[in-house]
Amino acid sequence: MNVQAYLAFSGDCQKALNFYADCFDAEIINKQTYENSTTDIPESYRQKLQHAELKGKGVRIMAYDAAPDTPLNGGNKIHMAIDLDKREQAEKLFSKLSNGGQINHNFMEKDWGAMYGRCTDRFGIHWMVNCDL
pLDDT at site 53: 98
pLDDT on residue 28 = 98
**What is the predicted pLDDT for the residue at 12?**
96
Q: Which residues pair with 116 in a beta bridge?
A: 108, 130
Q: Which residues of the chain have pLDDT under 70?
A: none
- Residues 84, 61 share a domain: no
For residue 128, the model assigns a pLDDT of 97
Q: Which domain, by its residues, includes 48?
A: 6-65
Q: What is the CATH number of the domain that holds 50?
A: 3.10.180.10
Is 106 inside a domain boundary? yes
Please state, in angstroms and rounded to a whole number, the distance separating the CA atoms of residues 8 and 29: 16
Q: Looking at the domain assignment, is residue 92 inside a domain? A: yes
| Domain match, 59 and 87 both | no
Domain count, the chain: 2
Residue 49: how many other CB atoms lie within 10 Å: 21
Q: In this predicted structure, what is the pLDDT of residue 40?
A: 85
Angle ∠(17,126,56) on CA atoms, nearest 5? 40
